[in-house]
């Protein structure tokens, strides 16, 4: 899909406040798991978000895709699943139709993310560090990307 010049510059203008709000920030992997030694290799993290059953200490991890910010989604697609948006959606659809694997839960705001994280035991997601750093019950596991 080609964007017109007006659409392109409009997207840039709309994106500038979001860029300033998170300038110098980092995207972190977060969990509600209380295990102090919680770690997740990159391949297992990718599998979680592709709908595969991934266990940690005998508990099924529950992926939550944070779509509250287009930049977060871009970091997720590039650094977590390593796919284009179209390839990721095709892969999820294929796994869902062929093998009955559920899609990751998707949230579209910081509040929805925090509520979903608290509702689901052993939830795993990604967020801006500044959005989750002081949240009780949400633990930062590692940095996925830094500006």
Q: 122 in a domain, yes or no?
A: yes
Q: Report the distance separating Cα 121 and Cα 32, nearest Å.
A: 6
Tally of domains within the chain: 1
Q: 12 in a domain, yes or no?
A: no
Q: 19 in a domain, yes or no?
A: no
Q: 14 in a domain, yes or no?
A: no
Q: What is the pLDDT of residue 19?
A: 42
Q: 65 in a domain, yes or no?
A: yes
CA–CA distances in Å: residue 33 to residues 3, 11, 26, 62, 121: 42, 37, 21, 10, 7
β-strand 123-128 against 55-56: which pairing, if any? unpaired
Cα angle, residue 114 at apex, residues 129 and 116 outer, rounded to 5°: 135
pLDDT > 50? residue 117: yes
Of 24, 30, 145, residue with least CA distance to 78: 145
CA–CA distances in Å: residue 30 to residues 41, 77, 86, 114, 121: 14, 16, 25, 10, 13
Q: Which residue range(s) make up the domain with 49?
A: 24-146
β-strand 123-128 against 62-66: which pairing, if any? parallel
- pLDDT level of residue 18 (50, 70, 90 thresholds): very low
pLDDT (mean) for 25-47: 90
DSSP 37: T
Q: 15 in a domain, yes or no?
A: no
CATH number of the domain within which 46 lies: 3.40.190.10
The rounded mean pLDDT for the chain is 86
pLDDT > 90? residue 11: no
User: What is the pTM (predicted TM-score) of this model?
Assistant: 0.81
Q: 46 in a domain, yes or no?
A: yes
């Amino acid at each position: 899909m080609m964007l017109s010049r007006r659409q392109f510059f409009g997207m840039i203008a709309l994106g500038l406040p979001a860029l300033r709000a998170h300038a110098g920030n980092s995207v972190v992997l977060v969990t509600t798991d209380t295990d102090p030694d919680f770690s997740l290799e990159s391949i297992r993290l990718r599998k979680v978000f592709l709908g595969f059953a991934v266990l940690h200490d005998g508990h099924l991890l529950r992926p939550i895709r944070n779509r509250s910010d287009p930049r977060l989604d871009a970091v997720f697609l590039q650094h977590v699943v390593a796919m284009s948006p179209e390839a990721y959606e095709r892969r999820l659809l294929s796994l869902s139709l062929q093998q009955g694997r559920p899609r990751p839960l998707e949230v579209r705001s910081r509040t929805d993310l925090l509520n979903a994280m608290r509702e689901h035991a052993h939830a795993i997601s990604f967020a801006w560090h500044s959005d989750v750093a002081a949240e009780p019950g949400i633990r930062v596991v590692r940095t996925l990307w830094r500006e």
